[in-house]
Amino acid sequence: MDFYQEKITTIHDFSNDGETIIHHLQELAVSRRSALIIPMVYEEIKSNSLTNIISELNKCNFISQVIIALAADNKKEFNEVVHFFYDLNLTHMVVWCNGPSISKVINDMKDAELDVSQFKGKGKDVWMAIGIASLDVYAIVLHDADILTYSKDFPAKLLYPVINPKLNFLFNKGYYARINKERGIMYGRVFRLFVRPFIEALQKDVGCKSEVLEYLQAFRYILSGEFALTSDMALHLRIPSDWGLEVGLLAEVYRNSSLKRTCQTDLGFYDHKHKETGKDITQGLSKMVNDIVLTFLRITNETTSVQISGPFIQGLHVKYRRFAQDIIRQHYADAICNNMLYDRHVEEKYVEVFSDILINTGNAYLEAPLCVQMPDWKRALSAIPDLREQLKAAALKDLEMIKN
């Protein structure tokens, strides 16, 4: 437990009274409505986490609507998910993000010279859901569908600093301890063993000074998929379409807001499904690290005068390994003093995998710098003023198909 403040406001959980916050949110919901977005894939209805999430959300009557941004392969899967959410008592809509009706709207966008058809993944689904949600609410909260430790306090804690007019933050990021207390295991390897030492390498030893990198380092869990923001803020953000979503989103918030209007909130202990490393950069944690490297290199290009070159990538690779090894020693000491399991050899193997991805992806970036950001909604609405209404109508059309 600490009370340390970062470059952004940190809202700790010293003696948080969840019921009082929820009661106040219920009062504020009259004038400041909110929507919850849950991006998910079909397979997640088979997990215990989503059943518990629905049960807890039924206690959250301060949320005006829930939008489930679904990626499903066929009508049968879509149908199963729609029926699965019948147990959710809040007003909700399942948006089949890669379904026929939504896909038609996306393809028709090309007529206005706005092509997002090449984008795929969670970021694109979130982008569409934000467009639909922003039609009717003041604030939007988003979290994943695989949270094993979910409670009604999660959306309440995230929304409260944004909804409460006495605070009036534009963006709130959740952070937590990725620890399984029962098994005594420390998770969050991509963040612990890659993101933090990678930023250290960029900032300190490579000489890549950047205010946005300092800002990113102030977040206690950059890769958290839980956040809340105002609808107006959401319309101004260019959202990465891949696993760089969380990092890229924070960089966009930095561009479109101020440190005074941004905060992070302690969500306590957190556990969710854990990804395998993956055989290559198209799978699992390897895919995540690959996309994060690309996002950080893009941010560095945009915010510094550093020339990204072969020697730059080589230096970054060497320094990252050193910082990561230092962090392993720190986590080892922390684990021993807390009677937790910690295998230094396994952690070192992860660092080796991540460092190989870093240099290979970095060199690939030199050959073809990639941009995987969706256009912000302000631009989209300038090209197609009723695009949000079109997407909502398409989602409702798919739902009507299920009823028939």
Residue 195 has pLDDT above 60, yes or no: yes
Percent of the chain with pLDDT over 70: 94
**pLDDT tens track for 44-65:** 999 889 999 999 999 999 999 9
pLDDT at 402: 77
CB 315 within 8 A of CB 206: yes
What average pLDDT score do residues 195-205 get? 88
- 9-403 CATH choice from 3.90.550.10, 3.40.718.10, 2.60.40.10, 3.40.50.1370: 3.90.550.10
Quickly state the pLDDT bin for 159 (edges 50, 70, 90).
very high
**pLDDT tens track for 239-258:** 877 667 888 899 999 999 99
Residue 281 has pLDDT above 60, yes or no: no
Query: Mean pLDDT in the chain?
Result: 91
Residue 206 has pLDDT above 90, yes or no: no
**pLDDT tens track for 63-85:** 999 999 999 999 999 999 999 99
CA 97/CA 130 separation, integer angstroms: 12
- What one-character-per-residue DSSP string does 173-239 give? EEEEE-EETTTTEE--HIIIIIIHHHHHIIIIIS----HHHHHHHTSS-TT---EEEEHHHHHT---
What average pLDDT score do residues 141-167 get? 95
pLDDT at 43: 94
CB 246 within 8 A of CB 222: yes
pLDDT at 289: 92
Burial class (CB in 10 A: 0-12, 13-18, 19+), 67: buried
Least confident of 273-277, 297-301, 379-383: 273-277
- Tally the residues of the chain: 404
CB 20 within 8 A of CB 154: no
Half-sphere exposure of residue 175: CA atoms within 13 angstroms, side-chain side: 18
What average pLDDT score do residues 270-279 get? 60
Question: What one-character DSSP code corresponds to residue 85?
Answer: G
pLDDT at 375: 92
Q: How many Å is the maximal CA-CA distance in the chain?
A: 62
Quickly state the pLDDT bin for 312 (edges 50, 70, 90).
very high
So where are the chain's domains?
Answer: 9-403
pLDDT at 301: 85
The model's pTM is 0.92
Q: Where are the extended beta strands (E) located within 24-181?
A: 34-41, 65-71, 92-96, 139-142, 171-177, 179-180
